[in-house]
Structure 1
Amino acid sequence: MRIQTKYLIAFLSGTVITVIIVGVSLWGFNSLRKTTDYLVTVNSRVLEFASYFDKELAHSRRAEKEFFIFPNNRAKQAKYITKWKGAYNKIRGYLDELERLFLGENNAEMFALVAKARKVMDENETLFASVVVKFKRTGSYDTVNRAEYGTFKEKTHILEDIAVKMSQYGLAEVEKGREVLAKTQSRTQLTIQIISILAVLWGVFVPIVLSKRMTATIRYLTQISNDISKGEMEKEITVTSSDELGDLALSIKRMQTSIRIMLDRFKEGRL
């Protein structure tokens, strides 16, 4: 193998390692992007919509309580009924978003909680409509509280528990996502550092090895040449290289053989 070819291979191998570093970097950054996207688009969104769910549920509770404050004011009652319905409509929108996210995650437990929340809300809307009619007719909170409104409040507590579970789940998933992100970032950085170190070592090691072999061969051939110039022909040249230095060694070996033949003929008196 020619010396030029050896250095070309060394150069190309360094280029390949550089390409590997770039590839690993791109892979690492892509992994970080996917993890970050998942953390932002899924986990944090679950936490966000669960928080909205809980907030609007609190608004509905406030509206229903304010409804009972004005037994003889139909305008005020209508205002707070509208607020209560508005809060429930917003909750349904958040449940739609949560359902879509849980479906994407294939999370059957959370998906079932969404279905349960919808069912409880449907029942609560029917109960609250009955409570409103009865309260408007009687004007007595005690009367409705002993009947449908008591069941309504129990079901509202169920919705509150569901909202808390979803919020806890979202928060836990965000924390998991952060841990995964940190691990992915650390793994990517470590991989890039290891490959970069190997690339540097390779870039230093290969030229040193080539130079040492070339230097050793040149010293060897120089010693043989000096011996030949002194008339010492006992040492046999061993050719172990197939590059230009190997060609030079073969030339010196041929010259050594020719000189031996000439000396032998001279001794025989044939020259």
Structure 2
Amino acid sequence: MKLLKNSKISYKLILSFILVSLFIVGVGLIGMQNMKKISNNATSMYEDSLQSLDALNTIKGNSLQLQTQFYLLVYSKDSSKLAETKDLMDRLKTQNNTLLDKFGKLNLDSNEKKLLNDYNNTLAQYRDARDKVVKLVEGGKYDEAVPALTESAKIRASMSDTLDKLIQYNVSQASDANTSNINVSNKSNVLIVVSTIVGFLFALVCGISVSTNISKRLKKVESFAHALGDGDLSKSIEITSNDEIGSLANSLNNAVQNTKYLISELSSSAQNISSSSEELSATMQELSSKMLTVNESTMDIAKGAQDLSATTEEINASSEQIGDTTYSLADKAKEALNSVKAIEIRALNIKEKASKAITEGNEIYKKQETDINNAIKESKVVNEIKELASSIGDIAEQTNLLALNAAIEAARAGETGKGFAVVADEVRKLAEESAESVKNIQEMVTKIDIAVNNLSSSGQSMLQFMTDYVQPTYELLMDTGKQYELDAEFIASISEQIASGSKSMSETIEQVTSAIETVAATAEESAAGSDEIMNSISETTFAIEEVSKAAQSQAMLAENLNKMTSRFKL
């Protein structure tokens, strides 16, 4: 019991809940076990009893139906019903065999298996007797079939007794299973009710016990807290347990002891602070007046440094502009040098192309002059063709005269000269055609002669144009290229001198700029230092004022602290 008292509250609550949970789990397990029994009994009742009863009753009904059919067949002596009876016998036999196989596969006990074995043996005897009756009916021996039918009826009665025993046995098993289910259900209800009542009472006792224990000790803590809130530090909590509330009580007792010591120390220190604050306030006022004087001097120094910094910035800006101009001049000189080199290259190209053009032009001129002169000489053949055409024309006129004379002579000769007249006529026609062709040739030769004269005149004009204009133009182009080359060399020399001078000027300006930047940096540092000093002085002055105010406030706080500590009861 002492161990439980010193245990933590969480452990006590957990233990109580665990015990209650165990009761609930126990009740649940018992209920599950009983429900499983009821379920198994219900399954057995359905599978082993109800299905068995259904199969057995069906077999019994089929047997009775078949026996009735046999009675009708034998006593009516109607052979036409034999086929119907045999068909019914085969159909019911198949159905009974299926039901017997299904019944044999059920969960049978030893008694059921014995009864089933007896039934199968009797069934074999019954089927033999039944087959005997069928054979007698087929042979028309109805009188002999009656005793055989009576014998088969006795065997069927034995079969029915066996089936009745099986049916009664399954009914008894179903009744036993039902009784078992009722008993299990009643026991489960009683056990669950008892367990629920016991669990409820146990949970109630645990809850009341734990809550009462916690409530009593919390009231002690609450009473102590009210006293502490009223400033009474003379009280303490008397709790001896080692759980969370006991630890809380010990911690609060220690806190009260520490608070009592702290308040006594605060009370003695507050008096010392009050006297020190008055001395500090007087010292701070004197120091504040001196810092105002230092602040004014620092402002003058900072102003001079700022003026110097502004002047150096203006000089530095001018130097940067000069430097930029110098750099720009150097860049332009470099660009001019590059352009001049390009001009020089183009001038060389022009000179080379002009020289090449002059050489090629002279060669072309000489070749064209030779070709034109040769063409003019060769064109004189046209005159020879003209003379030949004139000769051919004269020959054609003479031939025409000869043909005319021959025709006259043939006419004089009469019939003898007809063949010669025909030849003379053909010669005359040929002479006329030759004369016409010669005329056309002469016209064409005249046109060719005119064209050759024009071509000769144009060739001479072209040669004269090349001599008077083309060659002088090429020579002028070549002279221009040479002059461009000389000008480019001169401008390149000037550009190099400008670039070199700009570089020297740029280096000098960089040195001046560096020196100015050093001066500007020094001035800025001086100004910054002055600003920092001034800011520090301002901050110090402000801090002194704040310290002075704090000293006054500290004195007031010390006085208030004395008043507050006097409220506590030690």
Give the aligned partner of residue 126 of structure 1. Answer: 128
Q: Distance in 1 between matches of 2:85 and 2:75?
A: 10
What is the CA-CA distance between 1:39 and the residue it aligns to? 1.3
Is 1:97 matched up with 2:102? yes
1:145 matched to 2:146? The reply is yes
Opposite residue 97 of structure 2, the aligned amino acid is R
| Partner Cα distance (1:10, 1:108) in 2 | 53
Q: Which runs of 5+ in 1 are unaligned?
A: 224-228, 232-236, 255-271
> Equivalents in 1 of 2:141, 2:179: separation in Å?
56
Q: Is the 8 A contact 1:59 1:87 kept in 2?
A: no
Structure 2 CA distance for aligned equivalents of residues 4 and 128 of structure 1: 86
Question: 1:221: how far off?
Answer: 9.6
1:68 aligns with 2:74: yes
Counterpart Cα distance in 2 of 1:201 and 1:182 = 29
Distance 1:41 1:242 in 2: 64
Aligned equivalent of 2:34, options 28, 41, 44: 28
* Counterpart contact for 1:70–1:76, Cα < 8 Å: no
Aligned to 2:478: none
Q: Is residue 43–residue 177 contact of structure 1 (8 Å, CA) maintained in 2?
A: no
Q: Cα distance, 1:215 vs. partner? A: 5.0
TM-score normalised by L of structure 2:
0.38
Deviations 1:236-261 (A, max 9, x none): x894x33234447778999xxxxxxx
How many aligned positions are there? 246
Partner of 1:81: 86
Please state how far the C-alpha of 1:5 moved relative to its aligned partner.
Answer: 2.3
For the 8 Å contact 1:50–1:170, the answer to whether it is kept is no
- TM-score normalised by the chain length of structure 1: 0.74
Rounded Cα–Cα distance in structure 2 between residues aligned with 1:86 and 1:117: 19
Which residue does 1:8 correspond to in 2?
14
What is the one-letter code of the residue matched to 2:11? T
Q: Deviations over 1:88-116 (max 9, x none)?
A: 33222222222222xx23x2222122122
Q: Separation in 2 of the partners of 1:117 and 1:191?
A: 46
Looking at structure 1, the residues matched to 95 and 65 of structure 2 have their Cα atoms a distance apart, in angstroms, of: 11
Task: Identify the residue that residue 186 of structure 2 maps to in structure 1.
Answer: 186
Measured in 2, the distance between the counterparts of 1:63 and 1:86 equals 13
Q: 1:133 to 1:8 in 2, by over 3 A?
A: closer
Which protein, 1 or 2, shows the higher relative CO under an 8 Å CA cutoff with sep ≥ 6?
Answer: 1
Is there any run of 5+ residues in structure 2 with no aligned partner, and where?
1-6, 224-231, 255-570
The one-letter code sitting in structure 2 at the alignment partner of 1:128 is R
| 1:12-50 per-position Cα deviation (integer Å, ceiling 9, x unaligned) | 333343333433333333222222111111121222222
Tell me if structure 2 keeps the 8 A contact 1:64–1:81.
Answer: no
CA RMSD of aligned residues (A): 3.6
Q: State the match for 2:381 in structure 1.
A: none
Amino acid in the other structure paired with 2:145 = V
Residue 258 (structure 1) aligns with = none
The amino acid of 1:194's aligned partner reads V
Question: After the TM superposition, which residues 109-120 of structure 1 pair with which residues of structure 2 at under 5 Å, given as runs?
Answer: 109-120=111-122
Match of 2:284 in 1: none
Instruction: Report the more deviating stretch, 195-204 or 33-42.
Output: 195-204
The 3-state SS of whatever aligns with 1:242 is coil
Q: Residue in 2 aligned with 1:155?
A: 155
> Percent identity at matched positions?
12
